[in-house]
Amino acid sequence: MASKIGVYVCHCGMNIAGTVDVPAVIEAAKAMPRVALSKEYKFACSDPGQEMIKQDIKAHGLDAIVVAACSPLMHEKTFRRAVEAAGLNPFLLSIANIREQGSWVTEDPAKATEKAKAIVAGAVFRAARQEPLEMRSVEIHRAALVVGGGIAGIQAALDLADSGIPTTLVERQPSIGGYMAMFDKTFPTLDCSACILTPKMTAVGQHENIKLMAYSEVESVSGFVGNFQVRIRRKAAYVDHTKCNGCGMCMEKCPYKAPSEFDQGLSQRRAIYVPFAQAVPNKPVIDPATCVRFKGKKCKTCIKFCEPGAIDFEQKDSVEEVTVGSIVVATGFQPMDAKKIPQLAYGRHPEVYTALEFERLNNAAGPTQGKILTKDGRVPQSVAILNCTGSRDTNYHEYCSRVCCMYALKYAHLIKEKLHEATVFDFYIDMRCFGKGYEEFYRRLQDEGVRFIRGKAAQVFGGKEYKAIANAAGFIDGLEDHQLVVQAEDSLLGKLIRVPVDMVVLTPAVEARADADEVGRKFLVSRGADGFFLEQHPKLAPVSTTNDGVYIAGACQGPKDIPDSVAQGSAAAGKALGLIARREVEVEGTTASVVDELCSGCKCCLTLCAYNAISFDADRHRSSINEVLCKGCGTCVASCPSSAIKAKHFTDEQIFAEIEGLMSM
């Protein structure tokens, strides 16, 4: 037990001294048991403040230190370093938080001073019983995992691989590319999406340091920073990709069709398919929901036409395990289901499109070869684009989806470019064109003659429906049954307006993927109130998470455009690399451990550990804790009916001593 404790009470400028009578606390501390020295200082965290502590330790042979200052979250590390520099074990420091838990929350100076004395006494009593602990260092595995092969994941994987790190890229779909692969052009530069994406996809496919696992999903993750064990399930494609030469005969001949997911259901694909022509890997998979062999029929078409004999209906899912030092999660977003907003008529009227459907209509490889046509093949004379479909809306998503204003402008441009005669209306609340070159793009579209209407579109009617309800009051001349009527208030005019159009394009909110919760739990990444993955700090640690070694990038963290997704992909790769470059990581010594003689083998603790750090030795009938995995959360300690688990640095003895100290004032 320590017997020469040094106590330092910090003024923190006026933050503490403005309320707490610091000299009185110093005096009180002098009278506390085992206190050898008690001093005050204006800013203890400053260099001279730390220097003073170091000198005192050496000069007076102090064997434990109490710093009464701000929250340990702020400066525990600072003071631990100082203590260590003076030759004392850093775990012999105890912080008394008299700012956040004292001066900031207590108005009456007398009460604040009494409280500070009690908190200091608690720390003094505890410090006397603290024990030296060691930091541990663990080797980092020189390999990385990237989950999700959208543009963010592609960028992260390429950056890691280019730096020589063996990287596994896991993509759920048969091909990488994400949403970007579906676009025709990208705002604001109007680059052809495929032209800038395909080279990157090909680079992934050919990179010697990238192991691409498409049509695969991460099943489980265990381990910890530097040493994650990841189980990956590769779904049965029923095609042996080592034999397949990608000739595509099977897809041409397969007689069974299903709506193409990639074309948003606007075209058909076969039961054996690649999602799109530039897919990477460019090897087909068989969809068991469409292939009739899985319904007991005897079709052999693909087998017959596959020259290398790659079709393999006996194929099963396979599971692989990889060990990696760090993980980048880049699982992207999903668009909101526009049917949730009944007044916008999506799903009820064929000429109301979602943004992704419209992307496909515009894509040269899409269902209409890039021609903007209605479902019955007419060229629309007028198109309305409705911004904020479910974004900035407390009924759906309170946040702004950040890309819709811009892609609405992109669509307006594409329509103007392809159909010179067509009128384009854009209904908006505010145009948010915040990125580089974005405002300029907005101006350009005004110049191109797009009609901007300030007022959120409130209701969309089918032409026929409208005629049935309009009566004399709202009769629209020449309205055709197949048309649509968009109703809004133009708030700049203060007038209700109804615009007959041939086509309506909605901009459904960018939202967290439906399985974000499950994926988050797998990687121990938490989610914000908006459903997206939560960064460690919104400004200072935007791609880090609270799980060391796991980073997030792209739209899985929140709505963002391609430039930002790419930037985050690179940022996350940089963080992952930085970690790997360190070769080893230090982990805290404040773990839990099982006192072997007390453990009764009841297994209560086993399922409680969120970090899978507890294992059970069936032969000896005892639990034991892997110190490297243990985060010292204390859950098992509290749960053990035999009190057989001790939390280092938080032992019962230390906690009771702290309470005793608190009560002694």
Ligand X SMILES: Cc1cc2nc3c(=O)[nH]c(=O)nc-3n(C[C@H](O)[C@H](O)[C@H](O)COP(=O)(O)OP(=O)(O)OC[C@H]3O[C@@H](n4cnc5c(N)ncnc54)[C@H](O)[C@@H]3O)c2cc1C
Where do contacts with ligand X occur on this chain (CB under 6 A)? 147-153, 170-173, 178-180, 183, 186-187, 217, 330-333, 335, 355-356, 359, 403, 407, 410, 510, 513, 519, 554-556, 560-563, 565
Shortest Cβ 529–ligand X spacing (Å): 20
Shortest Cβ 385–other proteins spacing (Å): 16
Chain centroid to Cα 582, Å, comes to 24
Shortest Cβ 491–other proteins spacing (Å): 4
In terms of Cα–Cα distance, which of 453, 458, 384 is closest to 422?
384
Q: Closest CB to other proteins among 457 and 625?
A: 457
Interface residue with other proteins among 290, 362, 487, 545 (CB under 8 A) is 487
- 456 forms part of the interface with other proteins (CB under 8 A): yes
Interface residue with other proteins among 3, 137, 268, 343 (CB under 8 A) is 343
Shortest Cβ 175–ligand X spacing (Å): 8
Shortest Cβ 517–other proteins spacing (Å): 24
- Residue 113, phi then psi, degrees to nearest 5: -70, -45
Q: Closest CB to ligand X among 312 and 564?
A: 564
646: partner contacted, choices other proteins, ligand X, none (Cβ within 5-8 A by kind): none
- 339 forms part of the interface with other proteins (CB under 8 A): no
In terms of Cα–Cα distance, which of 268, 260, 261, 271 is closest to 311?
271
Instruction: List the beta strands (DSSP E) in 315-447.
Output: 318-324, 326-329, 333-335, 352-353, 382-389, 423-428
Interface residue with other proteins among 342, 437, 449, 538 (CB under 8 A) is 342
Residue type, 405: C
Binding mask 358-397 for other proteins (x = CB under 8 A): ------------------------------x---xxxx--
Shortest Cβ 218–ligand X spacing (Å): 6
Shortest Cβ 434–other proteins spacing (Å): 17
For residues 99 and 239, give the distance between their C-alpha atoms in angstroms, rounded to a whole number.
65
The count of residues interacting with other proteins (CB under 8 A) is 32
Interface residue with other proteins among 100, 162, 489, 588 (CB under 8 A) is 489
Q: Closest CB to other proteins among 500 and 632?
A: 500
In terms of Cα–Cα distance, which of 395, 441, 396 is closest to 416?
441
For residues 46 and 79, give the distance between their C-alpha atoms in angstroms, rounded to a whole number.
10
Residue 372 near residue 419 (C-beta atoms within 8 A)? yes
- Which of the ranges 236-244, 413-421, 469-477, 632-640 carries the binding residues for other proteins, by CB under 8 A? 469-477
178: partner contacted, choices other proteins, ligand X, none (Cβ within 5-8 A by kind): ligand X
In terms of Cα–Cα distance, which of 88, 97, 73 is closest to 16?
97
Number of Cβ atoms within 10 Å of the Cβ of 498: 15
- Secondary structure of the chain: what % helix, strand, coil (to 5)? 30, 25, 45
Interface residue with other proteins among 439, 465, 548, 588 (CB under 8 A) is 465
Interface residue with other proteins among 71, 78, 459, 624 (CB under 8 A) is 459
For residues 578 and 548, give the distance between their C-alpha atoms in angstroms, rounded to a whole number.
12
Residue 268 near residue 261 (C-beta atoms within 8 A)? no
- 494 forms part of the interface with other proteins (CB under 8 A): yes
Shortest Cβ 654–other proteins spacing (Å): 49
- Which of the ranges 39-47, 113-121, 262-270, 468-476 carries the binding residues for other proteins, by CB under 8 A? 468-476
Q: Give helix 193-206 / helix 151-162 axis angle, nearest 10°.
A: 40
The CA R_g of the chain, rounded to the nearest whole Å, is 32
Shortest Cβ 536–ligand X spacing (Å): 18
Number of Cβ atoms within 10 Å of the Cβ of 75: 19
Give CA separation, 523 vs 96, 210, 518, 528, 577, in Å.
34, 21, 9, 15, 18
Instruction: List the beta strands (DSSP E) in 553-660.
Output: 584-587, 592-594, 614-617, 622-625, 645-647
75: partner contacted, choices other proteins, ligand X, none (Cβ within 5-8 A by kind): none
- Which of the ranges 76-84, 318-326, 371-379, 471-479 carries the binding residues for other proteins, by CB under 8 A? 471-479
For residues 175 and 260, give the distance between their C-alpha atoms in angstroms, rounded to a whole number.
14
Q: Closest CB to ligand X among 202 and 643?
A: 202
- 473 forms part of the interface with other proteins (CB under 8 A): yes
- Which of the ranges 183-191, 288-296, 455-463, 503-511 carries the binding residues for other proteins, by CB under 8 A? 455-463
User: Largest alpha-carbon pair distance within the chain?
Assistant: 97
Q: Closest CB to ligand X among 121 and 424?
A: 424
SS3 503: strand
151: partner contacted, choices other proteins, ligand X, none (Cβ within 5-8 A by kind): ligand X
Residue 357 near residue 179 (C-beta atoms within 8 A)? no
- 476 forms part of the interface with other proteins (CB under 8 A): no
- Which of the ranges 209-217, 258-266, 470-478, 511-519 carries the binding residues for other proteins, by CB under 8 A? 470-478
In the structure encoding, which two tokens stand for residue 28, read together?
């009180």
Chain centroid to Cα 84, Å, comes to 37
Q: Give helix 404-418 / helix 438-447 axis angle, nearest 10°.
A: 40
> What are the residues binding other proteins (CB under 8 A)?
342-343, 388, 392-395, 429, 454-459, 461-462, 465, 468-474, 487-491, 494-496
